[in-house]
Structure 1
Amino acid sequence: MKEKIKVLVVDDSAVVRKILSTALNKYLDIEVVGTAPDPFVARNKILSLKPDVLTLDVEMPRMDGLTFLKKLMTYHPIPTVMVSSLTQEGCDATLKALAIGAIDFVAKPTCRLSGDVKDVIGELYTKIKVASKANIKKINNTKKQVYNKDTSRVIHSTSDGHNYTLFKGSRKIIVIGASTGGTEALKDVLIQMPPNSPAIVIVQHMPELFTRAFAKRLDSLCSITVKEGKNGDSLIQGQAILAPGNYHLRLRRSGAMYHVETNQEAPVNHQRPSVDVLFDTVAKYAGENAIGVIMTGMGSDGASGLLKMKESGAKTIAQDEDSCVVFGMPNEAIKLGAVDRIAPLQKIPENIFAFLNN
């Protein structure tokens, strides 16, 4: 019989601890080995119970979740799924947790609506299973970049010692799809893009509010402008558009100009926004003018769309297994024959530059 995934639930709310532990224990492949009301109790239970995965609240007494996560990832790394409140403060804290090393997050159930609780538990179950297999050792292996938001020239240091300078005008566009592990992976790629980079469009699986906070965080770190997309936004050089949570994002073309459209049609591959929805329209309207990148994430969203892009003349890149937190989406694209190049995370910008310069 296959061993169950051992889970430790850490939350200061007794009600939430009860809801999560009771619901998760109903799954045949999950065993909640314990609960903890704060990080100090959690620390002792981690040592004695040896859980495979942690669910962690951000706001707790005695020591906040972010401080605890930093210590955990430094001294005793465990795959961790954050349970976050749907507030602006909760969004910001969750993004910091992902930067520290959390695998993924879910919105905390309201405890008032049974449907809401059921949906959150289902999502949490899926993410615990993914976290149990995640490449935890790779999460913090990021490379320092040299950048300055306010300068006209950015130095993009790469492993081969080459410094990439600004591009000439280009009608090319870059589209990127990511899911689990994608927030930090996207940061590592975008931080290397110069101020006059071709327009970039991104789908990262993430709910409402979180995409807005994520776009703001990226904008503060990158030399390009990063914004959450709105219906009708034009694609312009030096700007990245992030699909808003709970909305699909499609590419449209008017003459030589591109813009995006948003809608709330049914989820595709259980996702809204869906990478395939974006990639399908890029194949149709941009063709050989596009470069498609599929990055770390569970499932297969984006694989078939990337194949359509390649068949329409676009160049395509997949993140390699060793640098992925979860090698799901890139692997599915590779198996379909949708990928021109497979590259480690830190060499993805280098490969994009090579396609652009050719």
Structure 2
Amino acid sequence: MTDLRSTAGRIVHVLIVDDSPTMRRLIRAGIERHPRIRVVGEAGDAREAREAVKTLRPDVMTLDVEMPGMSGIEFLERLMRARPMPVIMLSTMTRAGSDASVQALSLGAVDCVEKPRFGAAAQTFELLTKMLLVAADARVHSPAGTGVAVRPAPTAGWRWNGKWLLIGSSTGGVEALETILRGFPADCPPTLITQHMPAQFLRSFAARLNANLTPTVRIAADGDRPMPGEILLAPGGEHHLRIA
């Protein structure tokens, strides 16, 4: 779960976590061009990252997925339970719509960026810099889940009254949204959701929800008429839909 705090104008302290010294140097050079970003430390694995978080207290972290020992995904999950903080995944495995990206967002990562490819480093670091400045404004809380499964609400005697349920979820809210939706019964009221997430991730996210929830989950389309038992996700981007 995430809310916002004002960091306008102050220096944003960044911790870079990547097992490649060359990549760490490249990331540092790419993001420190911005006057408000300062790299306060680097780590090559989860153990080093854990100690750096304790001693350096960075505002935001970039985190690789593939690392020796503990993977970035596993470290992210532990970090969010022990000391939640803004994290941007930066990996060759976090391309648009990948399983690793959706899993990381579900665990509390603020966003995901694919590592720069040859000839596209400038654009990647421009995007990453913007994300770091935004992520520094996110106050990330420990996951709401307690490890106890959420049971779907009982439906005996329930009748749909013709109204829809609307849910808005911001950056960092994926985990909280999943926790809420796990309690929805198979014949839940028609539900419309806007989730602040890059459009290219939404289809994978919808597929993940559809596989794990009792109601049907899909991306909304223009002219849709949602019925009980359906959860529709706004497609993202600049789309404007008319729901019947």
**d(CA) in 2 for partners of 1:180 and 1:202?**
13
Which of residues 139, 142, 145 in structure 1 aligns to 2:142? Answer: 139
Which of residues 202, 217, 237 in structure 2 aligns to 1:226? Answer: 217
Structure 1 equivalent of residue 95 of structure 2: 86
Say whether 1:113 aligns with 2:104. Answer: no
CA-CA distance at 1:109 after TM superposition: 4.2
Q: Is the 8 A contact 1:166 1:194 kept in 2?
A: no
User: Measured at CA, do residues 169 and 68 of structure 1 come closer, stay the same or move farther in structure 2, by a change above 3 Å?
Assistant: closer
Structure 2 equivalent of residue 201 of structure 1: 192
Sequence identity (%): 34
Structure 2 equivalent of residue 95 of structure 1: 102
Q: Is the 8 A contact 1:109 1:120 kept in 2?
A: no
Which of residues 4, 7, 15 in structure 2 aligns to 1:8? Answer: 15
**d(CA) in 2 for partners of 1:220 and 1:116?**
35
Which of residues 203, 207, 211 in structure 2 aligns to 1:212? Answer: 203
Say whether 1:45 aligns with 2:52. Answer: yes
**d(CA) in 2 for partners of 1:232 and 1:202?**
16
TM-score calculated relative to the size of structure 1: 0.56
AA partner of residue 218 (structure 2)? K
Q: Is the 8 A contact 1:206 1:245 kept in 2?
A: yes
TM-score calculated relative to the size of structure 2: 0.79
Which of residues 40, 45, 58 in structure 2 aligns to 1:33? Answer: 40
Q: Is the 8 A contact 2:17 2:62 kept in 1?
A: yes
User: Measured at CA, do residues 145 and 77 of structure 1 come closer, stay the same or move farther in structure 2, by a change above 3 Å?
Assistant: same
Q: Is the 8 A contact 1:145 1:192 kept in 2?
A: no
AA partner of residue 79 (structure 1)? P
Structure 2 equivalent of residue 173 of structure 1: 164
**RMSD over aligned Cα atoms:** 2.8
Q: Is the 8 A contact 1:166 1:195 kept in 2?
A: no
CA-CA distance at 1:58 after TM superposition: 1.6
Gaps of 5+ in 1: 148-153, 157-162, 253-257, 259-358
User: Measured at CA, do residues 100 and 114 of structure 1 come closer, stay the same or move farther in structure 2, by a change above 3 Å?
Assistant: closer
Instruction: Figure out how many residues of one structure are paired with residues of the other and give that number.
Output: 232
User: SS state of the match for residue 60, structure 1?
Assistant: coil
Q: Is the 8 A contact 1:55 1:80 kept in 2?
A: yes
Gaps of 5+ in 2: 1-8
User: Measured at CA, do residues 119 and 248 of structure 1 come closer, stay the same or move farther in structure 2, by a change above 3 Å?
Assistant: farther
Structure 1 equivalent of residue 5 of structure 2: none
**d(CA) in 1 for partners of 2:225 and 2:25?**
48
User: Measured at CA, do residues 80 and 53 of structure 1 come closer, stay the same or move farther in structure 2, by a change above 3 Å?
Assistant: same
User: Measured at CA, do residues 235 and 28 of structure 1 come closer, stay the same or move farther in structure 2, by a change above 3 Å?
Assistant: same
User: SS state of the match for residue 250, structure 1?
Assistant: coil
**Deviation digits for residues 284-304 of structure 1, max 9, x if unmatched?**
xxxxxxxxxxxxxxxxxxxxx
**d(CA) in 2 for partners of 1:29 and 1:186?**
32
**Deviation digits for residues 81-134 of structure 1, max 9, x if unmatched?**
22252155xx322333334343x1132243332563254224322333223xx0
